[in-house]
A and B are shown apart, each in its own frame.
Chain A
């Protein structure tokens, strides 16, 4: 009886606390997906203001993804819409969080998973903290106490950020690779995917399978991050799961990556010139292998047309300067 009383008391205390925390989470969560509103990862979270069920291809991954794939270029040439849902140093458990959240409003016809995050290590208990942040976003946005306004207490959320880059991050710095000696050097030793990463990778694939969305595994070119051992392991995994795997570190692109000019940080990430080459290949590949719709004449997708024009305004001048 005594123990029951104690357990009951602890339970009631926790319940009241959870209710308080839940309400406060609503107060602290940004009411818009703009940077000024306190939103984190605005580039990826721009997807929150995309119209419901308008994204055809969802691209998941880390900085390799947002440095290598330009959704607007693919839209302009082939008409299908895509969004790069990538954040710097993204661990797979966060990829899963972003995917789950996005599938509540979007019904993509394809998910592209950039493979670099598959090997990113994280603490075994970090996913637990991620779950806590998911249930109680106050843990992520607690620092907004500095900028809270009366409107925040109304709990009315309205996302207005139109990310014309659709998750791509433009960067035209050039820093050449110093050595390519060990890049994709032949080996027959696959680099084992860490168990905890494999767990989350399987969860991502399962989520897509349940939603009947095909998954394409994609390795974007990166001498710093990718090697033959990783390629072999991911290829094995794709074979086991019946997934398509494209490794652009081995694939011949129509215009090959020039490692003196197409990287912004000595082979870690591509720059805009490299991204254009990858995007050109990927757009063509997706167009050929997946029956993706063309929305260029679709009235419901007028905002994409406007975004395309804004996108060109933002990048064309810089590209011209680079060519000169």
Chain B
């Protein structure tokens, strides 16, 4: 059992968990979920399960400590000071562990390189540690709980089991979404009885996730792998295609996994936050990040952006900037500091490499420039009588955003920053239509029939996305049909996955893309 797509998980683990959950008395159902979660964690990360257990014990303790300080008789100022110290210590402990396990090898190897360049005879030994699965996800959840308790937005939970389940809930441990305690903990603990509707709706969502992952993401894998591994062998048009294919693959894999995750939770009557909201319908990069990996974006907004932007020095700076630069650009320039902190964090959260930092800074630049030039473009549009609500203008915005996203993903997936720059350079300098005419296109692991299947499947996902954008629930729509039509829909979807899925002999499935973050 190594992912949500394995036979062991889908055919054995999940059905047995559902059965055990349903048979257990309501009050003890959370124990089934917790046992299943630790078993799942252990099956993938072995003894490293101890990390998530220790993290749970730790936030349980720190939460109670923070609340205990609140009940002391000192003045508010003293209490806040004490709480700040405790919180800082707790965050350093959790983030420190993340940094040591995940980032230390990266920082040390760069320090060694820097020392070598400077001619210093210093060298730190670089040890790589085995990472427990989902470390970056549950650490952020742990921090959010402690900060919420500190802020008084969340009462410290004395129930250790509920906290353990919040950090380790098996459907979300691998790739999120990054949940908040106040919205999920009670649901996890409630032990709601599984109903027929929950079961069927959950399974439908899981199947749709399988469709996205196995029919599209896995089928695109050979093409993406070939181009990103041997990019020097390809002309610009193929690299462009590779960037496009990777962007779609990433979306299909990640959002598909989210469908599996959210669908699984739905079976148990638990509503996890959505992580995607049709991101390719965004008209700007800023909007894109409100629709893509939403739970990460809101985490950074709540726990990095606001604390930096609302800090006393930032407020003072804004007042001064407002006076010197003006009421429009002053606050924008000041908020750039908070924005920069968010995007450096976002970049590094995704991985240890300069290309990830570049990825973060790239999006920071686009969002910052976007907010800077927005007043200007609005002015020009009014001057030249361009209707910004016209479908043609909005289409241009969609295409522009999509292209910018694809460029970002090219750097994200490239084998290092230098490789990313070289790939981008090849797009600018060697692009023609030659590879689409000389047979290169169909000799990279995907033949014409594969491309047709990918395009048709993308068409289905596009149609579903349009319906979602119009607030039409397809599951409700299908559920309202008579049984023969309903079942025909389900059979069609399952058979499409079985027949057109890229699995089995000759296929290498895509590893869960966000599982190592």
User: A140's contact among B490, B491, B495, B504, by CB below 8 Å, is which?
Assistant: B504
| Across-interface contacts of A6 in B (CB, < 8 A) | 196
Q: Are A125 and B11 in contact (CB under 8 A)?
A: yes
| Across-interface contacts of B298 in A (CB, < 8 A) | none
Q: How far is the CB of B6 from chain A (nearest CB, A)?
A: 7
Q: Say whether B64 faces chain A, with CB atoms less than 8 Å apart.
A: no
Q: Are A125 and B6 in contact (CB under 8 A)?
A: yes
User: B505's contact among A28, A126, A138, A143, by CB below 8 Å, is which?
Assistant: A143
Q: Say whether B14 faces chain A, with CB atoms less than 8 Å apart.
A: no
Interface string of A32-54 (1 = CB under 8 A from B): 00000000100000000000000
Tell me, in angstroms, the Cα distance from A28 to B490 when the chains sit together. Answer: 21
Q: Are B449 and A138 in contact (CB under 8 A)?
A: no
Q: Give the segment of A16-24, A195-203, A231-239 that binds chain B.
A: A16-24
Q: Which residue on B lies nearest to A146, using beta carbons?
A: B449
Q: Are B11 and A145 in contact (CB under 8 A)?
A: no
Q: Say whether A290 faces chain B, with CB atoms less than 8 Å apart.
A: no
Q: Which residues in chain B, 125-177, are within 8 Å of chain A measured between CB atoms?
A: none
Q: Which residues in chain A, 130-155, are within 8 Å of chain B measured between CB atoms?
A: 132, 138-140, 142-143, 145-146
Q: Say whether A129 faces chain B, with CB atoms less than 8 Å apart.
A: yes
Q: Are B495 and A145 in contact (CB under 8 A)?
A: no
User: With A6-B196, A145-B499 known to touch, is A123 a contact of B504 (CB < 8 Å)?
Assistant: no
User: With A6-B196, A129-B7 known to touch, is A142 a contact of B494 (CB < 8 Å)?
Assistant: no
Q: Interface size for chain B: under 10, 10 to 19, 20 to 34, or 35 or more residues?
A: 20 to 34
| Across-interface contacts of A146 in B (CB, < 8 A) | 447, 449
Residue among B494, B500, B505 having the largest count of chain A Cβ atoms under 10 Å = B505
Tell me, in angstroms, the Cα distance from A28 to B495 when the chains sit together. Answer: 13
Q: Are A142 and B6 in contact (CB under 8 A)?
A: no
Q: Say whether A242 faces chain B, with CB atoms less than 8 Å apart.
A: no
Tell me, in angstroms, the Cα distance from A18 to B504 when the chains sit together. Answer: 20
| Across-interface contacts of A28 in B (CB, < 8 A) | 499
User: A145's contact among B6, B7, B500, by CB below 8 Å, is which?
Assistant: B500
Q: How far is the CB of A49 from chain B (nearest CB, A)?
A: 21
| Across-interface contacts of B8 in A (CB, < 8 A) | 123-125, 128
| Across-interface contacts of B503 in A (CB, < 8 A) | 142
Q: Which residues in chain B, 477-517, are within 8 Å of chain A measured between CB atoms?
A: 487, 490-491, 494-495, 498-501, 503-506
Q: Which residue on B lies nearest to A148, using beta carbons?
A: B499
Q: How far is the CB of B180 from chain A (nearest CB, A)?
A: 33
User: With A40-B505, A145-B500 known to touch, is A13 a contact of B487 (CB < 8 Å)?
Assistant: yes
Q: Which residues in chain B, 432-453, are within 8 Å of chain A measured between CB atoms?
A: 447, 449
Q: Say whether B1 faces chain A, with CB atoms less than 8 Å apart.
A: yes
Tell me if B's interface is mostly helix, strand, loop or mixed: helix
| Across-interface contacts of B500 in A (CB, < 8 A) | 142, 145
Q: Are B495 and A24 in contact (CB under 8 A)?
A: yes
User: With A125-B1, A143-B505 known to touch, is A138 a contact of B498 (CB < 8 Å)?
Assistant: yes
Q: How far is the CB of A127 from chain B (nearest CB, A)?
A: 10
Tell me if A's interface is mostly helix, strand, loop or mixed: helix
Q: Are B499 and A139 in contact (CB under 8 A)?
A: no
| Across-interface contacts of A126 in B (CB, < 8 A) | 7
Residue among B447, B494, B501, B504 having the largest count of chain A Cβ atoms under 10 Å = B504
Tell me, in angstroms, the Cα distance from A138 to B498 when the chains sit together. Answer: 8
Tell me, in angstroms, the Cα distance from A147 to B498 when the chains sit together. Answer: 16
Q: Say whether B366 faces chain A, with CB atoms less than 8 Å apart.
A: no
Q: How far is the CB of A13 from chain B (nearest CB, A)?
A: 6
Q: Which residues in chain A, 217-261, are within 8 Å of chain B measured between CB atoms?
A: none
Q: Are A140 and B487 in contact (CB under 8 A)?
A: no
Q: Are B498 and A139 in contact (CB under 8 A)?
A: yes
Q: Are A128 and B495 in contact (CB under 8 A)?
A: no
User: B495's contact among A13, A16, A20, A143, by CB below 8 Å, is which?
Assistant: A20
Interface string of B53-80 (1 = CB under 8 A from A): 0000000000000000000000000000
Interface string of B259-280 (1 = CB under 8 A from A): 0000000000000000000000
Q: Which residue on A lies nearest to B448, using beta carbons?
A: A146
Q: Say whether B456 faces chain A, with CB atoms less than 8 Å apart.
A: no
Q: How far is the CB of B489 from chain A (nearest CB, A)?
A: 12
| Across-interface contacts of A20 in B (CB, < 8 A) | 491, 495
User: A143's contact among B12, B490, B494, B506, by CB below 8 Å, is which?
Assistant: B506
User: A142's contact among B12, B196, B491, B501, by CB below 8 Å, is which?
Assistant: B501
| Across-interface contacts of B1 in A (CB, < 8 A) | 125
Q: Which residues in chain A, 86-120, are within 8 Å of chain B measured between CB atoms?
A: none
Tell me, in angstroms, the Cα distance from A139 to B196 when the chains sit together. Answer: 28
| Across-interface contacts of A139 in B (CB, < 8 A) | 498, 504
Tell me, in angstroms, the Cα distance from A40 to B494 when the chains sit together. Answer: 24
Q: Offer 29 A-B interface pairs, CB within 8 angstroms, sorted by A.
A: A6-B196, A13-B487, A16-B487, A16-B491, A17-B491, A17-B494, A20-B491, A20-B495, A21-B498, A24-B495, A40-B505, A124-B8, A125-B7, A125-B11, A128-B11, A128-B12, A129-B7, A138-B498, A139-B498, A139-B504, A140-B504, A142-B499, A142-B500, A142-B501, A142-B504, A143-B506, A145-B500, A146-B447, A146-B449
Identify the 5 closest CB pairs spanning chains A and B, nearest first: A125-B8, A129-B7, A146-B449, A142-B499, A6-B196
- Taking A125-B6, A139-B504, A146-B447 as known contacts, 19 extra A-B pairs with beta carbons closer than 8 A to each other, sorted by chain A number, are A13-B490, A16-B491, A17-B491, A17-B494, A24-B495, A40-B505, A124-B8, A125-B8, A125-B12, A128-B7, A128-B8, A132-B7, A138-B499, A140-B505, A142-B498, A142-B499, A143-B505, A145-B499, A145-B500
B contact residues vs A (CB 8 Å cutoff): 1, 6-8, 11-12, 196, 447, 449, 487, 490-491, 494-495, 498-501, 503-506
